[in-house]
Amino acid sequence: MQTIGKLEVLRKRVADLRESGKTVALVPTMGALHDGHLTLMRRAREAADHVVASIFVNPRQFGEGEDLDAYPRQLQRDSELLEAEGVALLWAPQPDEVYPTGYATNISVAGVSEGLCGGDRPGHFDGVATVVCKLFNQVLPDMAFFGEKDWQQLAVIRRMARDLDLTRPHVEAIIGVPIVREDDGLAMSSRNSYLSAEQRAQAAALPKAMRDAIAVIAQGGAVGRPLGNLREVLQVSGFDSVDYAEVRDADSLERLEADNGNARLFVAARIGGTRLIDNMAIHAQ
Ligand SMILES: Nc1ncnc2c1ncn2[C@@H]1O[C@H](COP(=O)(O)OP(=O)(O)OP(=O)(O)O)[C@@H](O)[C@H]1O
Ligand SMILES: CC(C)(CO)[C@@H](O)C(=O)[O-]
Ligand code: BAL
């Protein structure tokens, strides 16, 4: 596996991979890899002839006072993990390679980016859409893989690909991979490394409270009371605050007051300084 920091070199190496009609999958990440990321790499390996992974802690998607500087960076360890997964190229540019002096363009996707993480993190999805569009143009992959842990992000990226008529990858080739969880149900996340041992144990209350709320919501009726209970349970379990707990349509992301058969529960909650997100279908898929 070759690690590349210059766009010029990336374009040449991707062109080499494409020789004799071979397909290329892109898996964008911010590094500090865990089994959730490695599952994306495996899905990509199964679907394409070659996998290009990217590691870029994108400054434009972090708000003021967020954890841009503290975000874990461990390129050496990550590159060993990617190599072991059979990844062909690692695209790991520095910020000035992605946003050179004079950079002035922003992509903003309305609708699906509103509320949930978009509400709590103003400008976040502009930063995500902008960098993902650039990554797509840099690698021109046949397909790209994203985790359903960031369900709203996936919706934003698909909307962007549809609206901008992207062909590499085409919107149908933007593939969502189900959430990979720890044994106690907590969704794997690079930010879990911020948790102390006590907070890590308390964090398991999040998926459990979500499953309990879902069991009630799936029986029909309004979502207000189960979501109220979920907030209370999280506070009693050691969470400091709940940024949002909402039921939305899984595709349109419209907010729902009652189950519509295609509903999904979305929660973001804070424990210590760490913000954890999760989402689950109300009805088994
Ligand atoms: N537990 C998981 N299961 C499936 N996909 C995941 C999981 N965690 C992350 N991903 C996916 O991996 C890709 C890269 O994510 P990223 O590098 O931000 O990792 P992360 O663990 O989500 O980090 P963060 O702590 O910033 O949320 C995204 O498409 C994300 O949805
Ligand atoms: C898609 C992404 C790599 C864009 O920076 C990031 O938002 C992430 O890791 O989910
Ligand atoms: N996985 C989402 C990236 C972020 O939180 O900025």
Please give the number of the atom of ligand 1 that sits closest to the Cα of 277. 27
Annotated binding site for (R)-pantoate: 61, 153
Q: Which residues contact 278 (CB under 8 A, 6 or more apart)?
A: 149, 179, 187, 206, 207, 210, 266, 267
Residue type, 68: L
Dist. CA 153 → ligand 3 center (Å): 9
Q: Measured from the CB, is residue 29 less than 6 Å from ligand 3?
A: no
CB 278 within 8 A of CB 179: yes
What pTM was estimated for this model as a whole? 0.98
Burial (CB count within 10 angstroms: exposed 0-12, middle 13-18, buried 19+), residue 219: exposed
Q: Measured from the CB, is residue 150 less than 6 Å from ligand 3?
A: yes
Annotated binding site: 30-37, 61, 147-150, 153, 180, 188-191
Between CA 210 and CA 219 the distance in angstroms is 15
Whether 37 is catalytic is yes
Dist. CA 21 → ligand 3 center (Å): 33
Q: Measured from the CB, is residue 142 less than 6 Å from ligand 3?
A: no
- Residue 150 sits at φ, ψ, to 5 deg, of -100, 65
* Closest among 102, 171, 160 to 127, alpha carbons compared: 160
Between CA 41 and CA 55 the distance in angstroms is 13
**Ligand 2 pocket test: which of 54, 61, 90, 125 has the largest number of ligand atoms within 8 Å of its C-beta?**
61
Residues 223, 227, 230, 236, CA torsion sign: negative
Please give the number of the atom of ligand 3 that sits closest to the Cα of 153. 2
On whether ipTM exceeds 0.95, the answer is yes
Ligand 2: residue whose CA is nearest its atom 10: 29
Q: Which residues contact 178 (CB under 8 A, 6 or more apart)?
A: 148
Lookup: tokens for 262:
């295609």
Name residue, tokens 């969502």.
176
Per-residue pLDDT of the chain in tens (285 residues, 90 and over written 9): 999 999 999 999 999 999 999 999 999 999 999 999 999 999 999 999 999 999 999 999 999 999 999 999 999 999 999 999 999 999 999 999 999 999 999 999 999 999 999 999 999 999 999 999 999 999 999 999 999 999 999 999 999 999 999 999 999 999 999 999 999 999 999 999 999 999 999 999 999 999 999 999 999 889 999 999 999 999 999 999 999 999 999 999 999 999 999 999 999 999 999 999 999 999 987
Give me the helix-helix angle, 7-17 and 124-139, nearest 10°.
50
Residue 38, CB-side half-sphere exposure with 13 Å CA sphere: 16
The gap from C-alpha 244 to its chain's centroid, in whole angstroms, comes to 17
CB 21 within 8 A of CB 128: no
* Closest among 246, 32, 50, 72 to 41, alpha carbons compared: 50
Lookup: tokens for 237:
């379990």
